[in-house]
Amino acid sequence: MEITVAISCLQVKALLEEGKDVRLGDWKAGDIEILNSFQLLTAKPVVYLVTFSLSRKIVWLWSAKVHIVLCM
């Protein structure tokens, strides 16, 4: 079990050093249980909220879409 935790920690460290979110890693079921115990913010789901006025709806919606795609 300790070896599994150490390997998971190394995988998490490698992802974070690459600037990637932990949730985007390729994890096995056992790894996910270990990661959940760490309560990492980068392992949590992401919600994007966008507000815009009705007069500029199309322009703002397109800008938000481009920004969200670039962030992923």
Domains (range + CATH), the chain: 2-71 (1.10.150)
pLDDT value at residue 55: 62
More confident residue, 52 or 11: 11
Q: Which residues of 3-29 are buried (b: 16+ CB within 10 A; e: fewer)?
A: eeeeebeebbeebeeeeeebeebebee
pLDDT value at residue 72: 56
Nearest 5°: phi and psi at 33?
A: -60, -40
pLDDT digits (tens, 9 = 90+) for 13-69: 898 899 888 888 888 888 888 888 888 777 777 777 766 666 655 666 667 666 666
pLDDT value at residue 17: 92
pLDDT value at residue 67: 66
